[in-house]
Amino acid sequence: MRLLIALISGALFGAGLLLSGMTDTQKVQGWLDVFGAWDPTLAFVMGGAILPMLVAWRVTKTRQPLTGGTFPAPARTELDRGLILGSVLFGAGWGLVGLCPGPAMAALSYGGTSSAVFLVAMAAGMRLAPGLRAQLDTAANAA
């Protein structure tokens, strides 16, 4: 049951990304180009995702997941060096390439190589990140 729910959820998410234009790198870069040829249409996509999730997080306080267990605890709210650095790197990658992880996976359905190259590079970065973070933490503690 859990795998079926995950499959349906992932398929709906991917279809939503395709239909909304989030897999179109030019549309995403147009959204991010606020000082140039700005394309505000993705604001509706973001609003269409944020508002239902706001309701969902409020409802989860009184409910249990269908497949058992518990919902995850709310994320930490403090800003630290790791969050800021990660946000900058994520935003830079998103702006340069026009894709973030979810849309890149959905874009694989197009059959092109650019999203596959992006996903391989992203996976390499995810593999290298813990070691790099440990080195940065060591350097910060030594200073």
pLDDT digits (tens, 9 = 90+) for 11-65: 888 888 888 888 888 888 888 888 888 888 888 888 888 888 888 888 887 788 8
Residue tagged 């030019």 (tokens):
26
Rounded Cα distance between 91 and 85, Å, is 10
pLDDT at position 56 is: 84
When mean pLDDT is compared across 2-6, 19-23, 62-66, 121-125, the lowest value belongs to 62-66
Instruction: Please name the residue ranges forming H helices in 21-113.
Output: 25-32, 42-59, 81-97, 101-107
Share of the chain above pLDDT 70, in %: 100
Could you tell me the CA-to-CA distances from 143 to 19, 45, 83, 137 in Å, in that order? 49, 44, 20, 10
Cα–Cα dist 47/40, whole Å? 12
Q: Kindly state the percentage of the chain with pLDDT values over 90.
A: 3
Altogether, the residues listed in the chain come to a count of: 143
Tell me the whole-structure pTM to 2 decimals: 0.65
Residue 114 near residue 105, CB atoms below 8 Å: no
Between CA 30 and CA 42 the distance in angstroms is: 9
CA distances from 114 to 35, 73, 109, 110 (A): 26, 36, 12, 10
Q: What is the pLDDT of residue 8?
A: 93
